[in-house]
Amino acid sequence: MAPARAPDRLWFERIPMAWWIVVAVLLTMPLFANNFWLFQVMGWSFILGTIAVSLTFLAGYGGMVSLLQMSIAGLAGYMVAILGPSGTTSISLGLAWWIVLPAAFLIAAVFATLCGALAVRTEGIYTIMITLAIAAAFFYFTRQNYTIFNGYSGFNLVLPPQLFGVNWRDPAPFYYLCLGCAALCYGAVVYITRSPFGLALQGVRDNPRRMAALGFNVTAHRVAAHALASVFASVGGILLVWQNAQIAPGTIGIPAAIDILVVAVIGGIRRPLGAFVGAFIYVILQVFSPDILGTFGFSAERFKLIIGLGFLAVVLFSPDGVLGLWDRWRARRARRVDPLTGAPR
Amino acid sequence: MDKFAKTNPAWALVIALVVVAFLWLVLAPWPTELEAAIGRKRVFLNALLGGITLGALYFLVASGFTLIFGLLRIVNLAHGSLFLLGGYIGYEVTNYTGSWFLAFPIVFVAVGLVGLAMQRFIFAYMEGEELRQTLVSIGLSVVLADVMLWYWGGQSYTTLAPGFLRGPMELPLISSINTTSGEAIFIRYPSVRIWILIAAIVIGVAMWLVLNRTSLGMLIRAGVDDREMLAASGVRIQLVFLAVFVFGAGLAGMAGVVGGTFQSLSPGEDTRFLLASLVVVIVGGMGSIVGAAIGALVIGIAEQMGLVYAPTYSVVFTFLIMAAVLAFRPQGFLGAGR
Amino acid sequence: MTLAAPDDRLTQMNSGNALELRGITKMFGALAAIADVTLTVRPGERRAVLGSNGAGKTTLFNCITGDFPATSGIIRFFGEDVTAFPPYERIRRGLRRTYQISSLFAGLTVMDNVYLACRGVSRNRYSLLRPRSDDALVHAAETLVEAVNLTAVRDQLVGELAYGQQRQLEIALALSGAPRFILFDEPAAGLSPTERRDLVTILTSLPSHIGYIIIEHDMDVALRVVESVTMMHNGRIFKEGLPSEIEDDPEVQELYLGGGHG
């Protein structure tokens, strides 16, 4: 809670140089990157990262590893397609965006709250099993239900609204849209960490029984965390349906649900930044592995093998993910320097 | 049983009535009004038998899963991959040797060895780290799925049962009464499914006997109840763990052969059977063999009945059962309270 | 400061007792950890519960806070029947406890631990806004941290604290908010003589309206900070009295205080 004591530097002076460089590169990227890079690589990274950061929030701070985040994102995406305009005019209602978006967030949050309430009935490792089972049930349901979810084919031609006369699916606007949403979600997760709710959630993760003995309703906090995480997942889900311009059961299948976990774990599930680092690595591998695999005579499908092995390596050797590796590398370098200078770093 | 009837007479009566009604539905020929209302009896019996035999298959997969969880506290999400791997190997063995029966021991050993490698070289090093073990098993399932796709491709395979098991067999259950001759027509059902049901029952009973009537079973049950005490008592617990993991993996592999004969094998079946196992053990109770049997039966019948009578929503039935169990009895039908 | 006689206590029911237990029994399987415990404590009263290991003292605390609900019996807290309440509802009504084995949030700082404790018994538990530095609860937390002499380590992670400091933090958590009654479970265990003196100071300087029950094996600490004593044995209460009476009671001497104190 420590309020900053007598700051001797202004807040922006305390942000390391590396951050300023990253921000500058991200903001100016449309000036030097091509459309494919903006739309496919960076856009998709931000979207995946946003969905994964909702898992980081639940797992890293709340200790609840949920495989439902992709389903919740998908439900929000589906709602945008169903309530708003799409190519499937027989089902889509074609409502205005200012009704569609709040409704999508709300419905996804209600779904997340209900599922969360089921999942927190049990603890620990059961959560992962129950959420996996619910995710699968939702996937099969969307595939079989034609009256609402249009079954196997789903919805296509789901486009973002033309706000301010901008086509938000053009590469540069879409890039900035995704960057803005991702930055907001990341900032929100970091900010909430130090709020009463965020602190209480970490308390619940560390010692639920003691939290109850401090006056906290542990179950309600856990369910509320599921509801809050659904907001981030929904942001990602809606951006995803706009990026692909379509949504189908395959978007929310079990492999997709597991990919979100893989992304969060590879980056480092204890820190919000890890979700975006993991997403970037995942997308780079996904996008460029066909070429590389092709040169060695493998089929592009072996991408899954690489991701699986990479995930295994991270879980086995660096539970803090890539960010953890980075920290350790820096710590080792710092130790090497220390004896010479005698000063810290 | 008596005690239950005495303490809850109303519920006991309801249950008894349901059982009687069910038995009547199964045994008696249906009057035409009933057939007009809910369809022919043959359809009902086929769905029921389909559900029971599917339940037998689910039991074979889920019993290994629940045993491994009960003793080792490992949620092995690569269990479905072991199932599919067993199915593919069984297909190859059957094709190569021409013997369906030979596939079972070979698959049991082969998949058991994969399980041995998993437990001995990976899971044993992270004992007690439940989440990490689960994550590792997810990674293994991704890798195994892709390796299998690499080798066996995306097409589907069906293992052929030997000739004498292939045809239908007549069961002593009346399907309908021939209106002209008055003769009873009996239901005919694929005999391989009936034999597999019998095999599953035999395996289930054998597992129960080993667990409840032998000293090895006592060791395992003691380990389920109190691992620290067992470890402290000087038993070579790691060997027991290894044996249970290998057995559970081998069983999943054999179930794969059965699954390849019942239905077909293709990428994605690993996930399907993993999920079936998850739902079965959530419903039946983690770590309980009898719970797995009950859960498998309930889920198998619900799935088949749903497919016949409400095809759009069959998945929803399964899910609703799971949600209801979680809401009212989070530890499952026979799970230990925790 | 004498104990009311049992008959008087029955007539006082609902009339201003801080804590009132009637026939509390807790079964673990077929084993009764505590059996038919009846106990009343007046507001502001300070009492020690003594007894050998396994006498059921900590189980009694768990039943009072609801950590493990009692199998049967009634618990009233300031006249209100809290028997069916979950722990957090009891805490919000002014009950507090410390744990025998420190039960803290190792991944959070000292200030965060105390702040959480203050937040748990106030409103806006679900607030998503960071507290401002002039937040009343932040001040309350700072005051508490100072009261238990932890200001020097206020921003350290709790996992890195020394054992004695963790015990002090444990007490700070119990003092948060506006406690009306506190259960101290062996607060002196493992403390150095200096730390014990500090502990006695903290306990005796608590505002007089705050009553407590203390489980303590160290008679020097226990009998100096209480005005009444309850002896437990095998899950039952077998003697109540003034500290001086208990200290001199030959039966108690033999059973618990042993040769060392005799």
Read off the pLDDT band of B244 (50, 70, 90).
confident
- Say which range, A48-57, A335-344, B123-132, has the weakest mean pLDDT: A335-344
Residues pairing with A140 in the sheet:
none
Chain A nearest CA to C260, separation (Å):
36
The rounded percent of chain C whose pLDDT value lies above 70 is 90
Q: Report how far apart, in Å, the C-alpha atoms of B249 and of each of A155, B97, B116, B140, B244 are.
A: 40, 23, 8, 14, 8
Gyration radius from chain B CA atoms = 21
pLDDT value, residue A316: 83
Chain B residues lying within 8 Å of A141, measured CB to CB: 315-316, 319
Verify that C86 and C189 share a domain, yes or no: yes
Give dist(CA A98, CA B198) in Å, integer.
60
pLDDT value, residue B92: 92
- The most distant pair of C-alpha atoms in chain B lies apart, rounded to whole Å, by 74
pLDDT value, residue C102: 79
Pairing of strands C19-28, C72-77: antiparallel
Number of H helices, E strands in chain B: 15, 2
Neighbours of C73 (CB within 10 A): 18
Closest CA to C88 of A196, A216, A207: A216
Answer whether residue A3 shows pLDDT above 50: no
DSSP state of C3: P
Read off the pLDDT band of A4 (50, 70, 90).
very low
* Token duo for residue C6: 């049992």
Q: Which of A125, A133, A316 sits opposite B275 (nearest CB)?
A: A133
Buried b (16+ CB within 10 A) or exposed e, A57-84: bbbbbbbbbbbbbbbbbbbbbbbbbbbb
pLDDT value, residue B253: 93
Give dist(CA C5, CA C10) in Å, integer.
9
Q: Which residue has the tokens 């997810």?
A: B138
Nearest residue in chain A measured CA to CA from B74: A125
Could you give the ipTM of this predicted complex?
A: 0.81
Query: How many A×B Cβ pairs under 8 Å?
Result: 106
Neighbours of A176 (CB within 10 A): 18
Verify that C74 and C189 share a domain, yes or no: yes
Mean pLDDT (chain A, rounded): 83
A311 lies within 8 A of chain B by CB? yes
Q: pLDDT digit string (tens) for C86-113?
A: 888 898 888 988 888 878 888 888 888 8
Residues pairing with C237 in the sheet:
C232
> Rounded to 10 degrees, what is the CA torsion of B111, B116, B117, B119?
120
Q: Are B231 and B58 a contacting pair, CB within 8 Å?
A: no
pLDDT value, residue C8: 45
Verify that C131 and C194 share a domain, yes or no: no
Give dist(CA A246, CA A157) in Å, integer.
6
- Say which range, A250-259, B42-51, B176-185, has the weakest mean pLDDT: B176-185
Q: Is residue C1 part of a domain?
A: no
Q: pLDDT digit string (tens) for A289-341?
A: 777 777 777 776 777 888 888 888 888 887 777 887 788 887 777 766 555 55
Instruction: Note whether C154 contacts A2, CB cutoff 8 Å.
Output: yes
Residues pairing with C13 in the sheet:
none
A/C touch flag: 3 or more CB pairs below 8 Å: yes
Q: Which secondary-structure segment (H or E) carries B190?
A: strand B184-190
Q: Which residue has the tokens 């052969």?
A: B257
Instruction: Note the residue count of chain A.
Output: 345
Read off the pLDDT band of B176 (50, 70, 90).
low
Give dist(CA A20, CA A26) in Å, integer.
10
Instruction: Note whether C128 contacts A198, CB cutoff 8 Å.
Output: yes
Q: Are A119 and A66 a contacting pair, CB within 8 Å?
A: yes
Q: What's phi and psi for A116, nearest 5 deg?
A: -60, -40
Verify that C44 and C151 share a domain, yes or no: no
Q: Is residue C84 part of a domain?
A: yes
- Tell me which of C177, C207, C230 is where a domain ends: C177
pLDDT value, residue B109: 93
Closest CA to B58 of B308, B299, B261: B299
Would you say the C-alpha torsion A164, A168, A170, A176 has a positive or negative sign?
Answer: positive
Verify that C198 and C121 share a domain, yes or no: no
**Which of A151-160, A230-239, B233-242, C87-96 has maximum average pLDDT?**
A230-239
The rounded percent of chain A whose pLDDT value lies above 90 is 19
> Per DSSP, which regions of chain C are E strands?
19-28, 31-41, 46-50, 72-77, 80-81, 95-97, 181-185, 211-215, 228-233, 236-241
Domain ranges of chain B: 55-328
* Token duo for residue A183: 């930055």
Instruction: Note whether A197 contacts C127, CB cutoff 8 Å.
Output: yes
Bigger pLDDT: C258 vs A263: A263
Answer whether residue A201 shows pLDDT above 80: yes
**Neighbour-count burial of B122, counting CB atoms closer than 10 A to its CB (0-12 exposed, 13-18 middle, 19+ buried):** middle
3-state DSSP assignment of residue A94: coil
Give dist(CA C221, CA C48) in Å, integer.
10
Q: Which residue has the tokens 């208990």?
A: C246
DSSP state of B214: S
Nearest residue in chain A measured CA to CA from B311: A144
Bigger pLDDT: A33 vs A185: A185
Answer whether residue C3 shows pLDDT above 80: no
Q: Is residue C149 part of a domain?
A: yes
Can you give the CATH number for the domain in which C21 is found?
3.40.50.300
Q: For an interface test with C, which of A184, A199, A214 has the most C Cβ atoms less than 10 Å from its Cβ?
A: A214
pLDDT value, residue A12: 67
pLDDT value, residue C256: 62
* Token duo for residue A188: 């929100």
Q: Is the CATH code 3.40.190 the one for domain A33-341?
A: no
pLDDT value, residue A222: 92
Verify that C27 and C125 share a domain, yes or no: no
Residue range(s) defining the domain that contains residue C21: 6-94+179-261
Verify that C129 and C89 share a domain, yes or no: no
Verify that C168 and C185 share a domain, yes or no: no
Q: Which residue has the tokens 């130790």?
A: A335
Closest CA to B196 of B84, B47, B50: B50
C123 lies within 8 A of chain A by CB? no
Domain ranges of chain A: 33-341
Buried b (16+ CB within 10 A) or exposed e, A278-291: bbbbbbeebbebee
pLDDT value, residue A227: 93
Instruction: Note whether B139 contacts A308, CB cutoff 8 Å.
Output: yes
Neighbours of A107 (CB within 10 A): 19
Q: For an interface test with C, which of A1, A57, A201 has the most C Cβ atoms less than 10 Å from its Cβ?
A: A1
pLDDT value, residue C259: 41
Q: Are A261 and A66 a contacting pair, CB within 8 Å?
A: no
Q: Which residue has the tokens 């609900």?
A: C69
Mean pLDDT (chain C, rounded): 82
Verify that C30 and C64 share a domain, yes or no: yes
Verify that C168 and C210 share a domain, yes or no: no
Q: Is residue C99 part of a domain?
A: no
Count of domains forming chain C: 2
Answer whether residue C9 shows pLDDT above 50: no
Q: Which secondary-structure segment (H or E) carries B168?
A: strand B168-177
Q: Are C37 and C73 a contacting pair, CB within 8 Å?
A: yes
Verify that C13 and C80 share a domain, yes or no: yes
DSSP state of B157: B
Chain B residues lying within 8 Å of A129, measured CB to CB: 75, 278, 282
Gyration radius from chain C CA atoms = 19
Q: Which of A3, A203, A214 sits opposite C91 (nearest CB)?
A: A214
Answer whether residue C36 shows pLDDT above 60: yes
Give dist(CA B289, CA B70) in Å, integer.
10
pLDDT value, residue A271: 86
Please enumerate, as own/partner, the contacts of B181-186 that have beta carbons within 8 Å and a separation of 24 or more: B184/B29
A125 lies within 8 A of chain B by CB? yes
A/B touch flag: 3 or more CB pairs below 8 Å: yes
Answer whether residue C234 shows pLDDT above 70: yes
Closest CA to C232 of C60, C70, C55, C58: C55
Give dist(CA B204, CA B62) in Å, integer.
11
pLDDT value, residue A119: 85
3-state DSSP assignment of residue C102: coil
Buried b (16+ CB within 10 A) or exposed e, C164-186: bbbbbbbbbbbbbbebbbbbbbb
Calculate ∠ Cα C80-C82-B327, nearest 5°.
145
3-state DSSP assignment of residue C52: coil
Chain B residues lying within 8 Å of A145, measured CB to CB: 312-313
Instruction: Note whether A304 contacts B316, CB cutoff 8 Å.
Output: no
Give the mean model confidence (pLDDT) for residues A150-171. 77
Q: Are B108 and B257 a contacting pair, CB within 8 Å?
A: no
Answer whether residue A159 shows pLDDT above 80: no
Q: Is residue C114 part of a domain?
A: yes
First to last CA, chain A: 27
Read off the pLDDT band of A1 (50, 70, 90).
very low
- Say which range, A175-189, B232-246, B250-264, B283-297, has the weakest mean pLDDT: B232-246
- DSSP alpha helix (H) spans, B214-331: 215-225, 227-232, 237-262, 269-284, 289-309, 314-328
Would you say the C-alpha torsion C224, C225, C229, C230 has a positive or negative sign?
Answer: negative
Pairing of strands C95-97, C181-185: parallel
- Tell me which of C139, C154, C177 is where a domain ends: C177
Q: Which secondary-structure segment (H or E) carries B121?
A: helix B100-121
pLDDT value, residue A9: 63
- Tell me which of C122, C148, C177 is where a domain ends: C177
Bigger pLDDT: B221 vs B298: B298
